[in-house]
Structure 1
Amino acid sequence: MLPVRATAAECIVPSKPGGAMDLTCKLARKGLQELPVDLQISYLPGGIGAVAWHTLVSQRRAEPDTLVVFSGGSLLNLAEGKFGDAQTRDVRWVAALGLDYGMIAVRADSPYQTLADLVTALKNHPDKVLIGASGTIGSQDWLKMALLAKQAGINPKVLRFVALEGGGESFIAMQAGHVQVVSGDASEATLYARAGNTRVLAVLAEQRLPGALAAVPTAREQGVDLIWPVIRGVWMGPQVSDADYLKWVATFDRMMAAPAFAATRAHYGLYPFSLTGAALTGYVAKAVTAYRQRAAELGLLREF
């Protein structure tokens, strides 16, 4: 019997290599290998997802085997209008592959041993602490640090942010000494902490995370009531046929139901959260509405 020929497909990372978006494509590629799907990864950075969004929506609307990674940060950008006049209905939401959490990290040789050390430095000398973050004002990495600052009685306006294109670039900048702190995600920190050159000060989860970051305290444990979950998944162009779209929905359902997938997901630093098709589409719409309300409550456009 001849071997089954693998389906060829593309997974677009809307950022530079090395961050959590990249890890999401790699998780999908690994999980789909047994089905079999040959998922090739490409990179289309720019505008923290805006370039990939508009490329697919305007130029590659009907490609049947092209997937684009998204995160909770993508949904926040949509809510804040950072993709222009874009709506959740402009694309087809395929699958959520797992859940990530925010975190705050420094270099392993940093003088900041705890979250309290960092907060003290931000209070006393905010001009000397450069914070690497994916995106500009209002991005999720910016927002995590702004909320931390507000709880500590620090005006977020005094913080010094360096806007970078993806978590991988943020960690590279920190290791090179260009920034002293990274506001990013636990999946990214898991990757870099394994190398021994990164100290994670806090995870922004309800409780400590299993795996490589098990010894890292939550922000709550350190007196800061800040939780930041991050959904991670894939979407497709708006004119992909129903047949092709539903094929991919079913493919991801099979992938995530496979016994080996839980271990694969954990290896890439993500936690259980699976939604596909119509259920995911409804979740995304509600999430964007909630993000928009939160942004309005924080007065982002008005205040910053």
Structure 2
Amino acid sequence: MRNLALSTLSAVLLLGGVQTSSATECLAPSGPGGGWDFTCRTIGKLLTDLDQVDGAVRTVNMAGGTGAVGFAYVENKRSDDPDLIVATSTVAINQIAQKKYPGDLDTMRFVGMLGADVGVILVANHSPIETLDDLFAKLKDNPKSLVGAGDGFGSWDHVRYLLAAQAAGVGDLWRVMWVQFDGGTPAITQMIGGRIDVVTTDLSEAAGFLESGDIRALAVLSDEPVPAFPDIPTAKSLGYDVTGYNWRGIYVGGGVSDDAYNTWIDRLKTVYDSEGWKEAAKNNGLVPIWRAGEEFENYLEKQLKDVSEIVNSLEFK
């Protein structure tokens, strides 16, 4: 089935064609309005405003396969194009781990990440679970004792919940209950209503509910406390060596030269250091984080390894 899907995808790309130009383009492998679209439009505008490129950066939306269509298009049509950048995130690593992309990490050249939405583990304000220790103690005793929820089964929300459970020593991860929703917000609503025990999602989706007091955060999945919610402990500070960033960044085609690749690192660093990016990140609930080049690629290799272990434990094929 997967081979048939990829064959169909290749045929669409070969027959459909996409107009290109010599101007700088940012491919958002999703429809307008999502996180990848935000990445392209925000970074594109700043690249122009900061005189990092000539003229305006054109955002091109190419939805399909949670980024797989855009990935295949770049690989097949524009692998060596130095004027094309592609918005990406942790979601892409999760999809690669599940073999849902027509390639691997080394198919593309991942340039850098500029920020991340931080994962958070949540319970309702009326929940008897008071701490992260309480949560994991219940899961260790019986992995089916609690119902977790967030985005779809096998999504990054699901995987990072299991990564946290794994860090706590919970066994039989495939037995841990998960109910999928179309994002964190509806899952939180159901949790408040008492139908779900715990939600893992991006902190930005939970912010309003935390401020209203309807829910409590057991921990954020970050290296450091989040400035907007400094009182929420990190899982690391509680003794669990796990993070759950939904980072936002850029890749270029695998055939792009070293010179062009390094130029994009420099350009993105200029964007990252700008007041414009700091303001955009703050307004969209992102924590500014910079990793680029070899450091970024090493980070992704470890993330892919960790995610793949979870994926394999759930027997996704």
TM range (shorter): 0.5 to 0.7
Does 2:161 correspond to 1:149?
A: no
CA distance in 2, matches of 1:102, 1:199: 14
Q: Is this contact kept in 2: 1:98–1:265, CA < 8 A? A: yes
Deviation readout 1:117-144 (Å, 9 max, x if unpaired): 54466556836614223562xx543332
Residues 96-245 of structure 1 aligned to structure 2 (within 5 Å):
96-106=113-123, 114-116=131-133, 118-119=135-136, 122=139, 126=144, 129-134=147-152, 136=154, 140-150=156-166, 151=168, 153-162=170-179, 169-175=182-188, 177=190, 180=196, 181-190=198-207, 199-211=216-228, 213-222=229-238, 224-238=240-254
Please, what TM-score do these two structures have when normalized by structure 2? 0.66
SS in 1 for 2:115: strand
Instruction: Flag as ranges the 4+ runs of structure 1 deviating above 6 A.
Output: 108-111, 194-197, 240-247
Q: CA RMSD in A?
A: 4.3
Q: Larger deviation: 252-261 or 112-121?
A: 112-121
**How much does 1:44 deviate?**
1.8
TM-score by length of 1: 0.68
Aligned equivalent of 1:3: none
Offset from partner CA, 1:83-122 (integer Å, 9 cap, x none) = 4562333224343212443322356776756435544665
For 2:160, give the aligned amino acid.
K
In the alignment, which of 16, 26, 49 is matched to residue 34 of structure 1?
A: 49
**2:77 aligned with 1:68, yes or no?**
no
Q: Secondary structure at the match of 2:222?
A: coil
Partner amino acid for 1:75? I
Structure 1 residues 156-204: Cα deviation after superposition (integer angstroms, max 9, x where no partner):
222222456xxxx322431553983432334554577578766433201
Contact 1:27 1:265 (8 Å CA) reproduced: no
Distance 1:83 1:159, change over 3 A: same
Is the CA contact 1:27–1:268 (under 8 Å) kept in the aligned structure 2?
A: no
In the alignment, what sits opposite 1:53?
71
- How far has the Cα of 1:12 moved from its partner? 0.5
Q: CA deviation at 1:262?
A: 2.8
Measured against aligned partners, the alpha-carbon deviations of 1:189-224 in whole angstroms (never above 9, x if no partner) come to 45775787664332012332112x223222245554
User: Structure 2 unaligned runs (5+)?
Assistant: 1-22
Pair 188,233 (structure 1): closer, same or farther in 2 beyond 3 Å: farther
Residue identity (%): 24
| Aligned equivalents of 1:235, 1:157: Cα separation in 2 | 32
Distance 2:74 2:242 in 1: 34
Q: 1:130 to 1:214 in 2, by over 3 A?
A: same
Gaps of 5+ in 1: 1-6
- How many equivalent pairs are there? 283
CA contact (8 A) 1:88 1:284 kept: no
Task: Kindly state the Cα deviation for residue 145 of structure 1 after the two structures are TM-superposed.
Answer: 1.9
Deviation at 1:25, TM superposition (A): 4.0
Q: Which has the higher contact order (CA 8 A, sep 6+)?
A: 1
